[in-house]
Structure 1
C-alpha cells in the first residue's frame, strides 16, 4: 500500500463516503482514507487521477511530498488568486467574514434600499459562505447521493424558493462557520499528534576510518559507530563504547529527569545527550528501534475504531435518510390531514432537513480518542488503539505479576540473625565469587555493614543446596537446610529459621563443620512507588487489585499485606496464572500487568494486557498498553485519563443527540426555524470539539501554567 498525505479533510462523514467511493475503483478495494491522521492508503497501481477527482468532491487534495519517511514524487499545481497566498481554512474564514459583513448590511438597509439590491446582497453572501457546499450538493443530487451537502443545498433552494432570503443566507453563513470550526478542531488534534511524531531523529553522524559524515537516519545500519555531541539526539538504539553523559529519555519513557550513562550502557534512539561526547555502536537500524516502533504504533492507534465509534458510523448511515423521511412527513402531513398552511409547514420541513447533519455526532469520539492517546504517549504510556483506551477506563480488576512489577525482582537481605562473631566475615567471603543474585545481595549487605573479607581459598557449588568453601584454611557451608546434613540444628536456631520462613523470607544459613554461625532472611525488594500506586488505583474506583506470584504462599502474604492489594495468589505456575485470569474474566473486566515476557499468556488472556517494558521489544509486541518507564507510577493517571475520555465521549453523544431531539420537538408546534436547526448542530460541534480538546491540556508543574 502506498501512503499519501491528504489536505482539506474536515468532515468525518464525508471522508467515510469518499473512502467508499475510492474502494469501488479498480484496485481500490483495500483503500483506506484515514480521517484522524489525514492519510490515504491505496494500491500503488490505482488510477490516482480518479482518486483525486473523488477527493475533490469534498475539497480535499493530495499533498505530493515527503510523508512518514517515504519520498513521493513532488508535484506542484498551479494556484490562482487568493489561494496562492492562503490555505483552504484561511480562505473559508475570509469568505465567511465578508459574507457576514454583507449579511449585516442587508439587514440594516432592508426596507431602505430596493428589494432587488437586498436580495442580490443576500445571494452574494450565501455564495461566499456556501458556494462549495452548494456545488457539492448539486453534484450529489445528480447522482442521488444524500449527505449533509445535499441536505443543505435542498434547504437553501427551498428557503429561497419561498422567499426566505434572510433565513437562507443565515443558514449558509452558520453552516460555513460550523464547517470551519469542525475542521479547526480536528486539525488541532492532528497537529498535537504530529508534534509528538516530530521527535523522531532525522540524521546521524557516522564515524568510519576516523572520518565523520552525516547520513539520513533511515540509512543507518546495525554495527555502525555514531558520534553524538552535547544537545544532539541519539539516532537509534545502541551501546555506549566511549564517553559518559546524562541522557534525557523523555521521548521513550516520558520521564523528565536525565539518566546517567557510561561505557557499556544501552541507550535509546530519540533520547538526547545532555552533555559530553558519546560514541555509540548501533544495535538496531532506526526502523527497528524502540522509538520507531512506538511512533508507528501511536500512528496506527489513532485510526483504530472503538465499539462506540463503529456504532456511531453505522448509526450515521441510517440517521440522514431517516431525517429526510421525517422532513417529508412534516412538510405534507399537517397540510393534508390537519389543514395546515403549506408554506409554513414546508419551511418547518426544511428546518428538520438541516437537523439531518450527523457531523457533531461523528465528531463525538475521534478528537477525544486522539487527544487521550497523544497525552498518554507524551508521558511514556503507549496505548495501541482507541479500543484499548476505552477498555482501560472500564476495567474494575487489575492483576499484577509480583516479581519485577510490584517488586524490583532483585533480592536483598532484610533480616540477619547472628550466632557467631565470624558470621558476616565468612558469609561475605563465601558469596564473593558467586554470580547468584542472592549471593550478590549478601555481599552487598555485608559490605554496607563495613565488614572486610577476602576471596575464598576454594569454592564448590552444591546444586539445589548452596555452596561449600574454604576460608582461611577452614571449611564452611552456606545455603538452605539441605546443605546442613553434617550437623544437628539446635532447637532455638530451628525456631528462628521457622519464624523467618513463616514470615515469608527465603533463608540462607551459614555454618562451619560443627555449628551454625547465622541466618540471612532474603526478600524481594518492594518498589518504592508500589504501595502508593495500589492506593491510588483503589481511589480511581477499582474493585480488586490482585497479586500473582510463583513464590511461597507465606512470602506472597507478607508482600500483599505491605502493598495493600485486595487479593493474592502464591505458588502459581505460568499456566495457573493463565487459568486464574480466565476465571476472573467471567465476573470482572480484568487487566493483567506484567513484564511482557514470561507473563505473555496471562497478558494475552486478560481483557487488557499492560506491560512494563522501558522500550523492550517483547513488551511493545505483547501488550495492549505499554508503560515505557520501569515502574507503575503513571498507571493510575492513565486510568483516570481513560475514564475521562470515556465520559467525554458519552457526554458528546448525549449532547449532539439531545440538541437535535430538542430541535425536532420544536417542529411539532411549528416553532422550529432554519437558523435554530443549524445552530443545534453548530452548537453541538463547538462544544464537542472544545471539550474533547481539553483532554490535551495539562498543568505544567514546573511553571504553574497550562500547556497543550
Structure 2
C-alpha cells in the first residue's frame, strides 16, 4: 500500500540528477535503484547523490563506483559518475539558473545539470568526484556562490544571506561545486541554508560564498561563526544612493556638469559592481538573466549621455533586491522557527547525577530528565513522572496533553508542569520534528503546476523581448524613423521590462509562505502541487473509525442465548486476543474490567472485514458481524429482530458462535468526536459540495452516524478494497476528491483519491511518509484551516500572476509613446516584485 502511494508521489522522491526517481523494491529491504523519468531519459544519467541521508542505511545500485552508470548515460568515461547536490546563492530569478546551467554544461566532464530556482538547489552529475572541485569556482565566476548540500551527520550547515530568488542559490552551488576541495554542496533558497561536505576551513567556504556576492555563517550545534557575515562599512545601496542624490541636488545649483556626471558615474560603479560581475558570467554561459538586462540598461544609458537615468536604474535595482531579500527572509523564518524548537542539549541521567550533553551525542535507550518549563530535546517514552505537555509546535493542538508512564513525547514540545524521566527512542536526526523539517524543506522545493507554467512562459518571454529590444534600437533609425539616441533609449527601457522577476517569484514565495504557515499549525503539505489541489477540492471522503469517531468503541450490551454472559465473553475474549482491531480491543477491555479470563485456544485467524476465529476445546468458534454467520448458513432466528433494532440505533454488532449455531451477540458503539460536527459545518461553508463517509459498518450504523455528523452521503459495509471503488465512483461523477484516513489501513484509498490526507501523523511514521497532506493531531480540527489556507494561496497566486503580467504589459505599452522613462521601467519591475512578495507573505499571518 505504501509503495502504491510512493509511486503516486514519485515527483517527491527524486534522488537522482536530471529528474531520475527512486524506485524501491520492498521485497529486498534497504536496496534502491534509480530510473530516469521519460522526459529526462535522453539527457540524464541515472545516478544517485551519495549524501549521508541517502547512503546511511541504503545500498544503491547507482553508486558512484559503478561503471555501468557511464554506460547507461550513453557515454564512456574513465571515471564513474558522481552526482552532487549544491546550494546556490545570488540567484534572483530563473534566468540566473539558466545562466549557470548553460555554463556548466559546456564542461566535458559534467554529464548533466539540473537547477531548481525556487529552492536554490542544483544537482550535477559529473565523471568523477574531482570534477566537482571546479564547480564552485565556475559558479563564482558567473557571479553566484555554490556549496554542496548535505543533511546527514557530520556535514556543515551554513546560513546564507543575500539570496533573493532561486537562481541565486544555483549560482552558489555552481561556484562552490568547482572547488576541488568541496565534495558536495546544496543550497536551499527557501530556507536560506547551505549544506557542504568539504575539506576546507569554514572561513574559506565563507570567503568563497562572499566572492559570489553573498554572506554565509557556519551553524554548528547551535553556535554560529560570524566571520564575514555582516558587511563592514556603509552598505552598497546606501553609498550608491548617496552619490545619486548628491549629483541630483548639485545639478540644480550650477555645479559644473563634469562633477555631476562623476557623481552619477560613482553611483553606477558602486551599485553596479555585483550586477555587472554576475552579468559577465551569465553572458559567458549564454544565458539571459536580470543582471544582464539591468547592466545593459545602465551601461547603455551612460553611453548615450543619460547618466542620471543610468544611476537611477542601478540604485533602484540594488534597492529592490535588498528589500526583496529582507522580505524573503521573513518567509524563511517560518522554517527556522521549527528548526529552533528543540534544545541543543539535554540532561542525561547517569546513576544519581545529571550530565548535560549535546543532543547529537545522546543514544537510543539513554534516560533524560526534563524539568517543568523545559522543552523536550528528543523523542522518547515517559518512564517516570507525570506532567502536562504543550504539543502545539508539533500537532497544532491548542490544549496541553497529559503525559504519564508509557506515553510518547516529542522533541520541541514543552513540559509545562511536573518533572519527567524519558527513555530516548529516536536519535536527533530521526525525531518527529526533524522529519517535519525535512519534509517541509522538500515540499518547498517541489514546483506547483502554476509555477512550472510561469517558468516556461518566462523562458519564452525573456528572449523574445530581448530580441525585440535590439530591433527597436536598430530598426527605426536605420529606416529614418527618429534618431539613434531616441530609439536606443526606448530599447534600453524595453530591456528592463524584459525582466520577468515579479512573474517568476509570484508562485514560489506564496507556496513557501503557505507551507510554512501550515507546518507551524501542525499540518504538513508535501509540495506546491498538493497545496493547489487542496484549494480545488470539491468532495471529501472520510474514513469513519478514528476519523469521524473517537476510534475507541465500547461495549454497550451483551446478549447470551445458549450460555451465560460470562462464558460468552470468555469465548469472545479468547477469539479476539490476537486481533488489533478497535472493536476487538473494546471486547477485551470490557472482559478485563469484569475479571473474565480467556480459555485455552489455538489456530487464531482473522477474517478480513468480517471478524475472527479460534479453536477452543477442539471446536471452532467465530466472532464477527452477522453477515459472516449468514454466509456460513447459521440460522440467527430470534436474533434477527434484535440485530435490526440495535443496528438501526447505530450499534456495531459482534455475533459469537460456531459453524452450526449463534451463542449470543455483543453490541459495540463508537462515540463521535466533539469537533467532527463543527469541522464538517466549516468545510461545507467553505464550498465543499459533498461530505462522504466510508465505513465497514452496517447500513444502520452508517446512517445513524451520517445523520449526527452532517455527512451528506455514506458507503456502508465496505471491505478495504471497496473503499477504493467508492473513491473511484465519486471521481467518475466528476468530483475532485480528497480522502481522509489514518494513512495506514486506508492507504489504497488515499492513493486513489486526488488528494490523500492522513490524520495523527505525530504518532504514525507511515502517515508522514505516505499521504500528500498530514494532520499531525489526531482530529479534524486542522482540516478546515488547511483547505482555507490552500484556497487563499490559490487566490494570492492568481493575483500575483495577473498583477505581474498586467504591470509588464502596461510598461511595454508606455515605452513607445515615450511616457515610460528608464528609471520608471526599473521601478515598475522591482516594485512589482516587492509587491508580489509582500502579498504572498500575507499567507504567513493567516490563523
User: Offset at 1:351?
Assistant: 0.8
* 2:843 aligned residue (695, 702, 707): 695
1:96 equivalent in alignment to 2:237: yes
Structure with the bigger RCO (C-alpha within 8 Å, sep 6+) is 1
Q: Deviations over 1:311-353 (max 9, x none)?
A: 2222222222101122133334444557333322221111111
Q: Which residue of 2 aligns with 1:596?
A: 743
Partner of 1:399, secondary structure, is strand
Partner of 1:410, secondary structure, is coil
Partner of 1:660, secondary structure, is helix
1:546 equivalent in alignment to 2:696: no
* 1:605 aligned residue (735, 739, 752): 752
Q: Deviations over 1:36-65 (max 9, x none)?
A: 555666676443344234135325365994
> CA contact under 8 A between 2:143 and 2:279: conserved in structure 1?
no
Does the C-alpha gap of structure 1 residues 231 and 27 become closer, same or farther in structure 2, counting only changes over 3 Å?
Answer: farther
Q: Which residue of 1 aligns with 2:701?
A: 555
Matches within 5 A, 1:9-158: 9-22=91-104, 25=107, 28-29=110-111, 35-37=117-119, 45-60=130-145, 62=147, 65-66=156-157, 73-77=200-204, 94-110=235-251, 112-141=254-283, 144-158=286-300
Does the C-alpha gap of structure 1 residues 245 and 16 become closer, same or farther in structure 2, counting only changes over 3 Å?
Answer: farther
Q: Which residue of 2 aligns with 1:564?
A: 710
> CA contact under 8 A between 1:11 and 1:182: conserved in structure 2?
no
1:159 equivalent in alignment to 2:301: yes
Matches within 5 A, 1:256-295: 256-295=398-437
Q: Which residue of 2 aligns with 1:573?
A: 719
Matches within 5 A, 1:655-670: 655-670=803-818
Q: Decide which moves more: 369-378 or 406-415.
A: 406-415
Matches within 5 A, 1:406-417: 406-412=548-554
Q: Decide which moves more: 231-240 or 659-668.
A: 231-240
CA distance in 2, matches of 1:458, 1:213: 47
> CA contact under 8 A between 1:30 and 1:42: conserved in structure 2?
yes
CA distance in 1, matches of 2:586, 2:745: 23
Q: Decide which moves more: 161-170 or 632-641.
A: 161-170
User: Offset at 1:233?
Assistant: 3.4
CA distance in 1, matches of 2:285, 2:425: 57
Q: Decide which moves more: 293-302 or 93-102.
A: 93-102
CA distance in 1, matches of 2:790, 2:307: 47
Q: Decide which moves more: 186-195 or 622-631.
A: 186-195
CA distance in 2, matches of 1:26, 1:335: 43
Q: Which residue of 2 aligns with 1:502?
A: 648
1:363 equivalent in alignment to 2:514: no
1:387 equivalent in alignment to 2:529: yes
Q: Which residue of 2 aligns with 1:514?
A: none
Q: Which residue of 1 aligns with 2:769?
A: 621
Partner of 1:526, secondary structure, is coil
Q: Which residue of 2 aligns with 1:470?
A: none
User: Offset at 1:10?
Assistant: 4.2
User: Offset at 1:579?
Assistant: 2.2
User: Offset at 1:66?
Assistant: 3.4
Q: Decide which moves more: 301-310 or 428-437.
A: 428-437
Unaligned runs of 5+ in 1: 448-452, 468-477, 511-517, 700-708
Partner of 1:692, secondary structure, is helix
Q: Deviations over 1:55-109 (max 9, x none)?
A: 35325365994358987553324799x9999978867983222322322332232
Query: TM-score under structure 2 normalisation?
Result: 0.70
Q: Decide which moves more: 362-371 or 338-347.
A: 338-347
> CA contact under 8 A between 1:431 and 1:440: conserved in structure 2?
no
CA distance in 2, matches of 1:17, 1:185: 25
Query: TM-score under structure 1 normalisation?
Result: 0.83
Q: Deviations over 1:568-592 (max 9, x none)?
A: 1111112121122233334222111
CA distance in 2, matches of 1:553, 1:251: 40
Partner of 1:408, secondary structure, is coil
CA distance in 1, matches of 2:101, 2:816: 37
CA distance in 2, matches of 1:330, 1:526: 70
1:398 equivalent in alignment to 2:540: yes
> CA contact under 8 A between 2:676 and 2:709: conserved in structure 1?
yes
1:352 equivalent in alignment to 2:498: no
Does the C-alpha gap of structure 1 residues 425 and 644 become closer, same or farther in structure 2, counting only changes over 3 Å?
Answer: same
Q: Which residue of 1 aligns with 2:376?
A: 234
> CA contact under 8 A between 1:247 and 1:260: conserved in structure 2?
yes
> CA contact under 8 A between 1:52 and 1:62: conserved in structure 2?
no
Does the C-alpha gap of structure 1 residues 465 and 105 become closer, same or farther in structure 2, counting only changes over 3 Å?
Answer: closer
> CA contact under 8 A between 1:196 and 1:374: conserved in structure 2?
no
User: Offset at 1:637?
Assistant: 0.6
User: Offset at 1:198?
Assistant: 2.1
> CA contact under 8 A between 2:156 and 2:195: conserved in structure 1?
no
> CA contact under 8 A between 1:204 and 1:226: conserved in structure 2?
yes
* 1:185 aligned residue (317, 323, 327): 327
Matches within 5 A, 1:369-518: 369-412=511-554, 455=595, 497-507=643-653
Partner of 1:611, secondary structure, is strand
User: Offset at 1:603?
Assistant: 0.8
Does the C-alpha gap of structure 1 residues 639 and 23 become closer, same or farther in structure 2, counting only changes over 3 Å?
Answer: farther
CA distance in 1, matches of 2:286, 2:599: 89
CA distance in 2, matches of 1:409, 1:523: 10
Q: Which has the larger radius of gyration?
A: 1
1:638 equivalent in alignment to 2:729: no
CA distance in 2, matches of 1:386, 1:47: 31
User: Offset at 1:16?
Assistant: 4.7
Q: Decide which moves more: 409-418 or 604-613.
A: 409-418
User: Offset at 1:140?
Assistant: 4.3
CA distance in 2, matches of 1:155, 1:528: 63
User: Offset at 1:593?
Assistant: 0.8
* Cα-Cα RMSD: 4.2
Q: Decide which moves more: 278-287 or 171-180.
A: 278-287
Q: Which residue of 2 aligns with 1:703?
A: none
Q: Which residue of 1 aligns with 2:452?
A: 310
Does the C-alpha gap of structure 1 residues 634 and 508 become closer, same or farther in structure 2, counting only changes over 3 Å?
Answer: same
Does the C-alpha gap of structure 1 residues 234 and 499 become closer, same or farther in structure 2, counting only changes over 3 Å?
Answer: same
Does the C-alpha gap of structure 1 residues 62 and 454 become closer, same or farther in structure 2, counting only changes over 3 Å?
Answer: closer
CA distance in 1, matches of 2:806, 2:612: 72
Aligned length: 676
Partner of 1:302, secondary structure, is helix
> CA contact under 8 A between 1:237 and 1:282: conserved in structure 2?
yes
> CA contact under 8 A between 1:92 and 1:180: conserved in structure 2?
no
User: Offset at 1:641?
Assistant: 0.5
